Amino acid sequence: MWTCRHCGLIVMSHTVEPEIDDEGCYFICPGCEGRNRLVSAGDEGDEGHVELTQPDV
């Protein structure tokens, strides 16, 4: 679960597609379309997926 830093909408992580560009990982809020930064929460798991979380900023 992620929270939009712009409008406060709680977003289930499986409902939005994380993206990556030159500035890093992020998701776009479906409510306000604000960009929200994500960071890696650890190493790749058994299936090669990286867990993403929001920084405490």
Determine the pLDDT at residue 47.
Answer: 63
pLDDT for res 29: 98
At 31 the pLDDT is 97
**Domains: count for the chain:** 1
Tokens of 16: 């939005």
> In which domain, by residue range, is 21 found?
2-53
Q: Do residues 29 and 37 lie in contact, with contact meaning Cβ atoms separated by under 8 Å?
A: no
Digit-coded pLDDT (tens) for 3-52: 999 999 999 989 999 999 999 999 999 999 999 999 988 765 566 677 88
Which residue did the predictor score with more confidence, 56 or 17? 17
How high is the pLDDT of residue 33?
97
Length of the chain as a residue count: 57
